[in-house]
Amino acid sequence: MKAKKCWLSCLALALAATLALAGPALAAGKFVDDGKLVYSVYTDIQTMDPHVAFVWYSCTITRNTHEGLLQYDLKDYSIKPLLAESWKLDENGGTFKLRKGVKFSDGSEFDAAAVKFNLERIKAINKGPATWVKDIKEVKILDKHTVRLETTKNWAFLEDVLAAPWCFIMVSPTAIKKNATKDDPWATKWMHDHTAGTGPYVVEKWAPNQYIKLVRHKGYWRGWDGKHFSEVVYQVNKEDSTERMLITKGAVDMINDMTAEYWDVLAADPHIKVKTFPSLAEQFILMNNARGPLADENMRKAVTYAVDYEACRAVVNASAKGLLVGTPIKRDVAKAKAFKAKSAYAGKEVTLKLCYVSGIENHRKWSLILQDNLKDIGVKLDIQSMTWPAFAKQVYGTPDEAADLYPFYASSIIADPYGVLYKVLDSHSLQKGGANLGYKNAQFDALMDKASQTIDRAKRMSIYEQARLLPEKDATYLWLFMLPYVAIYRDSVGVYDYTQIGDALGNMFYFYDYYRK
């Protein structure tokens, strides 16, 4: 199947491209303090609550301060133990043996009761992570360090959801209960700007839109033998030019993302590493299926055929490869005009609004390409830049209150095509970490449900091949390419060889694994 071949080949390329980044094994012996690591990002986080956070930048903080039961091996995306040291699955869930001697950063103990509490909290808050644990019916406590997770069905993704960095992450029940109020029984206001996990770091200070300071959790269960950073600064720098200057001067150590036009320039610096690799993320321009002119299928098809996709791909030197398309669409203005003539807007001037994230040059360039393209079919495109938090609020919010078009890349929630397909297109993910802007197709939803109960991977791929054709037929979105990820860092930053710098799933960085050369 095309989808299977593309997904697996892209994952293999991503892994092969990043394996070379590994360094020495974790050193034994006394802790060596490597001081401060400065990590530059173009946006501030939304929250520190891991049961609310559901985008990579917020999860970079939550996952470095909190942990889940399992984890992905970044080298091959196999699933490894974390807070659960062993487990056994069956048709109705699984039994998990928990690691003993683990403490939350507030000093309280991690145990079976904590796992049960966290599932209850995630479901009660009912944000993005709740969508992905809905098929965990309950947590049964078998003893202090053994739990059974009962599922609603024979579920293909229990291990993946427990390993993903944003679905089922543990917080201290003691901290939540201590800071709960009558109006806020799950202490969401307190968790918004506090951490209470088992992870290697704790947040010491958050200066909004400036920086977040993390310091090491001295009681971290894995210990601190060898070289590690005792402090990490998540620094907000919204402009690529600023980030380029700072990393060139050595004022920052790592950059999460940057416009492709700077990659070769930075790679020419002998003190900077630029590692690009295919991701498990798709680059779209989302169309609002719920309101306005684009609620009309023929109007969406008109826009679809009006766009110059090759020009959009040329902005980042990307190819037309990815999961969600069989045959990439080519610009055809005559066909675009014909579809507009079939729509309710035939013979009318149409004005659409596109919103993009300030400071992301690729978004700005794509917006201008679309603006120019749409003139050819009598459509005016108004363009508005905004901060990422404002952008995310619209994309993940109510489609009736959203604009018409948004450049948006969707990283997969799990290491399976389901992670993108469900997030962007299943109606059940709407406003819960999904970004489908009102697309609803009962046949698609049914295929996704079938896939989630299909344990055999090859059979799942066949289901995905059927499913992806439906939104393509409905002209649900503008698909550009499978997004390349980039890791940019100073050559003084090393990584232990049990892992690597470069995460094809979430483009996240795990600071405990790094050291100063």
Which residues, at least 6 apart from 504, have a Cβ–Cβ distance to it below 8 Å? 10, 11, 14, 15, 18, 74, 77, 277, 278, 279, 280, 485
CB atoms within 10 A of CB 203: 21
Coil vs helix vs strand at 22:
coil
pLDDT at position 392 is 86
User: What are the φ/ψ torsions at residue 183 (nearest 5 degrees)?
Assistant: -85, -15
User: What are the φ/ψ torsions at residue 110 (nearest 5 degrees)?
Assistant: -85, 125
Q: Is the dihedral of CA 177, 200, 207, 167 positive or negative?
A: negative
Residue 23 lies in a domain: no
Residue 86 lies in a domain: no
How many helices (H) and strands (E) are present in the chain, helices listed first?
17, 20
| Ordered DSSP codes for 238-272 | --HHHHHHHHHHTS-SEES---GGGHHHHHTSTTE
CA dist 35 and 268 (Å) reads 27
Question: Considering only CA atoms, which of 473, 435, 418, 157 is closest in space to residue 280?
Answer: 418
pLDDT at position 324 is 60
CA dist 207 and 191 (Å) reads 16
Beta bridge partner(s), residue 516:
493
CB atoms within 10 A of CB 285: 23
pLDDT at position 429 is 79
CA dist 96 and 238 (Å) reads 42
Query: Domain of 332?
Result: 278-484
pLDDT at position 34 is 98
pLDDT at position 197 is 99
**Is the Cβ–Cβ distance between 278 and 482 less than 8 Å?**
yes
pLDDT at position 430 is 73
**Is the Cβ–Cβ distance between 75 and 137 less than 8 Å?**
no
Q: Is the dihedral of CA 266, 270, 275, 276 positive or negative?
A: positive
- Amino acid (1-letter code) at residue 107: G
pLDDT at position 208 is 96
Residue 317 lies in a domain: yes
Overall domain count for the chain: 1
pLDDT at position 225 is 96
Residue 334 lies in a domain: yes
Coil vs helix vs strand at 512:
helix
Both tokens assigned to 67:
């942990």
pLDDT at position 207 is 98
Residue 93 lies in a domain: no
Measured between alpha carbons, how far is residue 10 from residues 56, 75, 162 in Å?
A: 20, 14, 23
Measured between alpha carbons, how far is residue 86 from residues 89, 137, 147 in Å?
A: 10, 21, 11
Render pLDDT for 57-91 as a digit per residue (tens, 0 to 9): 999 999 999 999 999 999 899 999 999 999 999 99
pLDDT at position 432 is 62
pLDDT at position 55 is 86
Residue 424 lies in a domain: yes
CA dist 409 and 138 (Å) reads 33
Beta bridge partner(s), residue 95:
88, 148
Measured between alpha carbons, how far is residue 383 from residues 119, 300, 355, 370, 478 in Å?
A: 41, 18, 6, 10, 17
Mean pLDDT for each consecutive 10-residue tract of the chain (517 residues)? 47 48 61 98 94 93 98 93 97 97 98 99 95 95 99 95 97 99 98 98 98 98 98 95 97 90 93 88 92 97 97 84 69 98 95 94 95 98 93 88 92 89 85 76 96 92 92 92 88 95 88 98
Residue 475 lies in a domain: yes
Beta bridge partner(s), residue 276:
486
Residue 394 lies in a domain: yes
Render pLDDT for 198-236 as a digit per residue (tens, 0 to 9): 999 999 999 999 999 999 999 999 999 999 999 999 999
CATH code for position 462 = 3.10.105.10
